[in-house]
Amino acid sequence: MSQRTLVLLKPDAVRRGLIGEIVGRIERKAGWTISAMELRTLDRATLERHYAEHVGRPFYEPLLEFMASGPSVAMVVEGERVVEGVRALAGPTDPIAAAPGSIRGDFGTIVRENLVHASDSEESAERELKIFFPSHG
Ligand code: RTP
Ligand code: MG
């Protein structure tokens, strides 16, 4: 079943020169297509919408500050079971728990600066895609 998902390469990934490495891993998955992509520094209003589920958590403010600290790459990835697939490629939230071979396992350092975001369900993907790519199909 073909799906769409929102992937963000967070500011740490961009600062560390890992755009090509991470995009390459996504491109190499057979049957997946990047159908939109943009480099931009995310503003507070966008981040508040995106992370609404985390309001009030102790990591919320530091997370928003980090996410606004430099440019991110936002992209739409389409393909078979891509929601679950990109989450698997990324690995668990905490890089310490992430296996080698996953993006966070190979490059992650601390839980906040974990390089990538990927929508966690088809419903989240549709909600998040409206925030980042309002005019995308
Ligand atoms: P994401 O939303 O970025 O794809 O990551 P996720 O689903 O694996 O993690 P989530 O629970 O949604 O948390 C969102 C982001 O908040 C930061 N975080 N920091 N304890 C902490 O300091 C903490 N917990 C989460 C991470 O950047 C995480 O990706
Ligand atoms: Mg999440």
pLDDT tens profile 7-19:
999 999 999 999 9
136 pLDDT exceeds 90? no
Burial 120-135 (b: 16+ CB within 10 A, else e): eeeebbebbbebbbee
Amino acid identity, position 52: A
The answer to whether 116 touches 13, Cβ cutoff 8 Å, is: yes
**What tokens appear for 92 in the block?**
């668990």
Q: How far is Cα 10 from Cα 49, in angstroms, rounded to an integer?
A: 16
The answer to whether 110 touches 97, Cβ cutoff 8 Å, is: no
Q: How far is Cα 112 from Cα 93, in angstroms, rounded to an integer?
A: 8
pTM: predicted TM-score of the whole model, two decimal places: 0.96
Per-residue pLDDT at 88: 97
pLDDT tens profile 70-90:
999 999 999 999 999 999 999
Share of the chain above pLDDT 70, in %: 100
* Residue to probe by mutation, ligand 1, list 114, 120, 123, most atoms within 8 Å of CB: 114
Per-residue pLDDT at 1: 81
DSSP state of 95: G
Q: How far is Cα 102 from Cα 133, in angstroms, rounded to an integer?
A: 26
Which domains does the chain possess?
2-132 (3.30.70.141)
pLDDT tens profile 28-85:
998 999 999 999 999 999 999 999 999 999 999 999 999 999 999 999 999 999 999 9
Q: How far is Cα 76 from Cα 14, in angstroms, rounded to an integer?
A: 17
Write down the mean pLDDT value for the chain.
97
* Residue to probe by mutation, ligand 1, list 66, 75, 82, 93, most atoms within 8 Å of CB: 93
Element (H or E) spanning 75, and its range?
Answer: strand 72-80
ipTM of the prediction: 0.93
pLDDT classification of 6: cutoffs 50, 70, 90:
very high
The residue length of the chain stands at: 137
